[in-house]
Structure 1
Amino acid sequence: MTSEAPLPKPSFMNALITFGLIVVVISYGLFFLKVNLHSLMLICLMIAGISASLLTRCDFSTIRHAMSEGVSRALGAIFVFILIGVLIAAFIQAGTVSALIYYGLQFLTPSMLLPAGLILCSLMSVATGTSWGTAGTAGVVLVGVGGAMNIPLPLVAGVVVSGACFGDKISPLSDTTILAAISSRTDLYDHIRSMMYTTGPAFLIVLLVFWLLGQQYAGNALPSSQLLLMSNALNNAYIINAWCLLPFLVMLGLSIARVAAEPAMLLSSVIAVLIAVFMQDAEIVNVLTALYSGGGPGQTGVAMLDELLGRGGIAAMMWTLSLGLMALSLGGILYKFGFLQVLITTALRRVTSVFNLVVVTILSVFAGNLTMGEAYLSITLGGQLFSDAYDERGVNRSVLSRSLEEGGTLTAPLIPWTTGGAFMSATLGVNVLDYAPWALLNWLNPLLGMLFAFFGIAIFKPQAAPSANHSTPTDVSFKSVN
């Protein structure tokens, strides 16, 4: 059986024109024509497919195979899309979301919601290694509590995204953390320590900013009459007690115990369904229907609560899932035919300093997210293309792995057509372009990474070998959830 013949690489001009057309179509269509992203992504698929066909003279089966490869690389994330919809719907039916909102209204003040939300989401994402699971549970609750306190939802969503991405970036359980270490062939814990030099200061600055912003809403404390109205509405719709929190605690415990995300979500959803049926007295048919279509037990009489408790379900994730499939297909073509690789290798020839190298790394991975729609591909490609450049300049590869995450993990939720951006928007109910300016950690951390490189701070030299008590990247299991 013969091996597949390598495809010819595009010229720099071919790659630049293809990349430029995709960026122009998306940016002009989204910001000026206000066209929906699915139509724009279809046009971009046509551009990439035609360019690849003209380049290689291949038949459509080769292009279809490239699209399939792009989708297959993120099959785990696609399944998680569906499970998050099920999880949110089950938690709503069981009263878990309502109980968390109820207790949140009792104990959180408007001035402390933003910093407390950042800390809560950060701790949960560090413990679980998943930004998506954090946004789908704690994030949904914080948006509900923030809405009740009349705090702008884009601001609350920005807090959630910042906290969720903090843990997704530094947790040893996170898939992108592990992937960045593997792609750059860096010891996992050297990678995490390197990230803390830039992520730690960024987190503290962002925490201070959110605390200062929170003081503007100190006067937004709910009047006792409104608090009583919302509490009564939740109590009338659900039986609220400690049992309602069980599905959330099970989900958190299983994640900390390093149980894979998919079975952890399924088991938590099953427990939530049982609580909905046997404690909330919900009809099993209605509960199972809600797992697909979403929705709570009925009208609470409070519009904000009705909107929040009407979320979840598999159907609610289909917009996000279909957009993700198209973006991944586009990424598969661009990756298979080497369009972005040509641009990056050309840019590398002009790199003259470590500062330039770090900047090019971060911006290249960000560009990969823009065009390929998924941080997995961008991080993997960046690790392959930049490793030798860091070695040649005597820079430890932990600086490379750190830069891969700063350009990939943190920027993905800021782009509406990436799987991360589409997921956060669908889950939190806030448009990406609305919450993106408030996802402060996602902006500040890459900027600090470049600033530190300019001043030569935390630019480490290569080590002879990883220390004996450290695990190598291949010693760590790979999880399939963002």
Structure 2
Amino acid sequence: MNATLAPWKAVTLIAVSIAIIFGGIIFIDAESTIVLLAAGTALIILSLLWGIKWDAIEKDLMENLRAMFTPILILLAVGLMIGIWMLAGTIPVIVYYGLLLIKPSVFLFVACLACALMSVMAGTSWGTIGTIGVAFMGVSVGLDIPLQYTAGAVVVGALFGDKMSPLSDTTVMAAAVTDVKLVDHIKHMLYTTVPGLVISLILFLFLGFRVSGQVENEQITSILNTLETNFNLNPLLLLPPFVILFLIYKNKPTLPVFGVGILLGALLAIIFQGNGLAEIAVALNDGYTASTGVEVVDRMLQRGGLSSMLGTVALLIAAAIFGSPLRTAGVIDVILNGIQRVVKTGKGIMLSSLSLHSFLFIITGSYYVTFAVLGPMMKSMYDQYGLHRKNFSRTLEDTGTALAPLIPWSVTGAFIAGTLGVPTLQYAPFAPMLYLGIVFAIIYILTGFGIAKVDSPATEKEKPVAAKKALQS
């Protein structure tokens, strides 16, 4: 069982965390990996000085690393897949047809909707971003549309689909930890998610028409000719993404599915591009490295490979190190105990859970941790105030799943930045759906609109007592 620090010591750990993270990233402009390692080291030292045993910290560190292991493997698999799909011509052929068929003025709008559709069907934002998301980034270069615009459109679409899909692990988990029916949970999220998507789509149309006149037909023609010269653009090269989509839709495990995508890419590279095993090995490790002689095409294609993801892997390991002492010291328990002494109303419970989960997620960067910890601990408090638990399950996703791409040290944020090649803070302003969900959630809590009630709430006198017992149980 984890030791729990005195409240003032827990608050000190949180303050030190915030100071080092935001000071290091904003003022010093240091890399997120180094900042997290520095913060983790400081927290471990303070915890040891205050009596927390190293064995306990080490145990939680190993558990955090085990939780990170599968995402790390998926991350590496995506790097391998992007490299081999570039070499095989799969991504180049998507870029080719994208340049032929999509007008610059509606490109961002189409990219967002396409990613949303794929993510809803497949239930994975990672799979969407790592496949057609990367292809859209290539088309963006060809159309001379700023990459941060396209990254925003891809992320909004992918995350909308992730939240709305019954196949998504985060959607299933949020419903499960709060004991809410999956369909009820998804329907309730429409209140906060759809308005953000609509506003985002309007933004993408505005940005698209703003930049649509900047691209020159000669440049597009040059890109198309270069792709035709350097690749055999056979339509059969589109097979891997369709196979991946089908297998994920059939709820097959992600890692084996990506393995199939890598093998298919290697076979197509041999059959259609005439590459040998040496070229395939280079593409898997270093990504696509060949030069076409046209700078804009090289910027589209020279990416992927195992080595491109190693920096992101280091970031995830640093995040695990950083989160370990906070978990061992029982910081979350201290915060919840404080809430139970202060909060006395249903609105207070909803605002507290929204604020607390946002804060803890920003600190830990892992919804697998925060969902699992807060879900079971706070769900019964909603019962005591006559509130349906789906209000809470929606809050978990609005402040976890949707917030994840905005946190550079989160698993999802690190994956997106590494895969799309655009830093988090650059695409964040162009992905409004991600944070508008929180804005609409607060509006609904204050006005009562979109808040589901249950039939038999506790009496006003019973509520605080029952809520306190729920937290203690």
Q: Give the structure-1-normalised TM-score.
A: 0.91
Q: Separation in 1 of the partners of 2:154 and 2:31?
A: 25
- The aligned counterpart of 2:189 is 195
Q: Report the AA paired with residue 347 of structure 1.
A: I
- Residue 332 of structure 1 and its aligned partner are, at CA, apart by 3.1
- The aligned counterpart of 2:299 is 307
Q: Separation in 2 of the partners of 1:103 and 1:359?
A: 47
Structure 1 residue runs of 5 or longer lacking an equivalent are 1-5, 465-482
- The aligned counterpart of 1:40 is 35
Q: Which residues of 2 match residues 152-301 of structure 1 at below 5 A?
A: 152-223=146-217, 225-296=218-289, 298-301=290-293
- The aligned counterpart of 1:431 is 423
The reply to whether residue 359 of structure 1 matches residue 362 of structure 2 is: no
- Residue 399 of structure 1 and its aligned partner are, at CA, apart by 0.7
- The aligned counterpart of 1:87 is 81
Q: Separation in 2 of the partners of 1:169 and 1:102?
A: 30
Q: Separation in 2 of the partners of 1:179 and 1:249?
A: 27
Q: What is the aligned counterpart of 1:447 among 435, 439, 442?
A: 439
Q: Separation in 1 of the partners of 2:295 and 2:399?
A: 39
Q: Separation in 2 of the partners of 1:235 and 1:386?
A: 58
Output one character per residue of 1:351-385: Cα deviation in whole Å (capped at 9) or x when no partner. Answer: 34333332322222222222212121122222133
Whether the 8 Å contact between 2:43 and 2:325 is mirrored in structure 1 is yes
Q: Report the AA paired with residue 289 of structure 1.
A: V
Q: Report the AA paired with residue 226 of structure 2.
A: A
Q: Report the AA paired with residue 206 of structure 1.
A: S
Output one character per residue of 1:202-243: Cα deviation in whole Å (capped at 9) or x when no partner. Answer: 2222222222222212313431x2222101111111100211
- Residue 295 of structure 1 and its aligned partner are, at CA, apart by 1.7
Output one character per residue of 1:37-74: Cα deviation in whole Å (capped at 9) or x when no partner. Answer: 2221111111221233234441x232111111112123
Q: 1:463 to 1:137 in 2, by over 3 A?
A: farther
Q: What is the aligned counterpart of 1:100 among 71, 75, 94?
A: 94
Q: Report the AA paired with residue 368 of structure 1.
A: L
- Residue 249 of structure 1 and its aligned partner are, at CA, apart by 1.0
Whether the 8 Å contact between 2:10 and 2:329 is mirrored in structure 1 is no
Q: What is the aligned counterpart of 1:109 among 94, 97, 103?
A: 103
Structure 2 residue runs of 5 or longer lacking an equivalent are 457-473
Q: Report the AA paired with residue 346 of structure 2.
A: V
Corresponding residue pairs, total: 456
The reply to whether residue 376 of structure 1 matches residue 371 of structure 2 is: no
- The aligned counterpart of 1:17 is 12
- The aligned counterpart of 2:471 is none
- The aligned counterpart of 2:120 is 126
Deviant stretches of 4+, over 3 Å: 54-57, 352-356
Q: Report the AA paired with residue 217 of structure 1.
A: V
- The aligned counterpart of 1:338 is 330
Q: What is the aligned counterpart of 2:47 among 52, 63, 68?
A: 52
- Residue 418 of structure 1 and its aligned partner are, at CA, apart by 1.2
Q: Report the AA paired with residue 437 of structure 1.
A: P
Q: Separation in 1 of the partners of 2:373 and 2:430?
A: 29
Q: Separation in 2 of the partners of 1:395 and 1:235?
A: 60
The reply to whether residue 30 of structure 1 matches residue 25 of structure 2 is: yes
- Partner secondary structure for residue 301 of structure 1: coil
Q: Report the AA paired with residue 442 of structure 1.
A: L
Q: What is the aligned counterpart of 1:326 among 315, 318, 336?
A: 318
- Residue 244 of structure 1 and its aligned partner are, at CA, apart by 1.0
Q: Separation in 2 of the partners of 1:349 and 1:183?
A: 24
Q: Report the AA paired with residue 168 of structure 1.
A: D
- Residue 21 of structure 1 and its aligned partner are, at CA, apart by 0.8
Q: 1:433 to 1:235 in 2, by over 3 A?
A: same
The alignment-based identity, stated in percent, is 32
The reply to whether residue 418 of structure 1 matches residue 413 of structure 2 is: no
Q: Report the AA paired with residue 198 of structure 1.
A: T
- Residue 173 of structure 1 and its aligned partner are, at CA, apart by 0.8
Q: Separation in 2 of the partners of 1:463 and 1:426?
A: 47
Output one character per residue of 1:106-156: Cα deviation in whole Å (capped at 9) or x when no partner. Answer: 011111011111101111111111111111111111111112222111111
Whether the 8 Å contact between 1:139 and 1:160 is mirrored in structure 2 is yes
Q: Separation in 1 of the partners of 2:231 and 2:212?
A: 29
The reply to whether residue 151 of structure 1 matches residue 145 of structure 2 is: yes
Q: Separation in 2 of the partners of 1:432 and 1:162?
A: 13
Q: Report the AA paired with residue 349 of structure 1.
A: R
